[in-house]
């Protein structure tokens, strides 16, 4: 048997906690490579994985690499209305669905954190995910957005800022929007 390279190690996407645990059990039983990471949807307006998948990932030593880190752009602050009319982005409809009083309170909390650090709202949202021990996936539709994404990779939030964002998004902890 040859040694596995890093490109030979599997990761799993959108599996429940139970199915993740089962995948690992079967991999161990068969003596094949176990997954090294899980890729769920996770952000400040969708924290459902905290209830069950995060504890399983921690227990099994799996990295959490969330997608939709910016909730289809809502957590950039550029969708302040629940009406997607006039928005050019194909994600505007999904992003607008988060523009509830609770969702807008999260954006306001992000704006406060972002302002304290001199970064964009998107950077603050990514910084929160990093503070949660994840490696978020985010995309840019324009070159000028890349700096904000990179700033999110370097941003170190204070404990009180993490607590503030947690509190602002408590309505979304353990529930699916």
Per-residue confidence (pLDDT) for residue 93, from 0 to 100? 63
Tens digits of residue pLDDT in 19-73: 999 999 999 999 999 999 999 999 999 999 999 999 999 999 999 999 999 999 9
pTM of the full structure? 0.86
Q: What is the DSSP letter of 6?
A: G
CA distances from 91 to 63, 85, 106, 108, 158 (A): 27, 12, 19, 21, 31
Q: Is 145 exposed, middle or buried (0-12, 13-18, 19+ CB in 10 A)?
A: middle
The band of 6, judged by pLDDT with boundaries at 50, 70 and 90, is low
Per-residue confidence (pLDDT) for residue 79, from 0 to 100? 72
Which residue matches tokens 């079967």?
26
Q: What is the DSSP letter of 77?
A: T
Look at the chain and count its residues: 177
Per-residue confidence (pLDDT) for residue 95, from 0 to 100? 78
Q: Percentage of the chain with pLDDT > 90?
A: 68
In whole angstroms, what is the distance from residue 142 CA to residue 16 CA? 33
Task: Answer whether 110's CB lies under 8 Å from 164's CB.
Answer: no
Tens digits of residue pLDDT in 114-148: 999 999 999 999 999 999 999 999 888 888 888 88
**CA nearest neighbour of 58 among 42, 32, 38:** 38
**CA nearest neighbour of 176 among 76, 52, 37:** 52
Beta-strand relationship, 11-13 and 37-39:
parallel
């Amino acid at each position: 048997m040859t040694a596995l390279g890093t490109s030979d190690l599997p990761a799993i996407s959108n599996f429940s906690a139970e199915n993740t645990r089962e995948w690992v059990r079967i991999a161990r039983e068969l003596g094949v490579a176990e997954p090294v990471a899980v890729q769920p949807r996770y952000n400040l307006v969708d924290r459902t994985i905290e209830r069950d998948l995060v504890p399983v990932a921690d227990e099994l030593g799996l990295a959490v690499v969330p997608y939709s880190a910016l909730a289809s752009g809502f957590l950039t602050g550029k969708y302040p209305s629940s009406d997607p009319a006039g928005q050019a982005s194909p994600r505007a409809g999904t992003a607008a669905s988060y523009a509830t009083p609770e969702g807008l309170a999260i954006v306001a909390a992000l704006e406060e954190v972002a302002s304290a650090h001199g970064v964009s709202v998107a950077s603050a949202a990514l910084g929160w995910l990093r503070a949660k021990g994840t490696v978020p996936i985010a995309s840019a539709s324009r070159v000028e957005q890349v700096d904000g994404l990179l700033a999110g990779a370097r941003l170190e939030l204070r404990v009180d800022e993490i607590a503030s964002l947690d509190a602002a998004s408590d309505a979304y902890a353990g529930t699916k929007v």
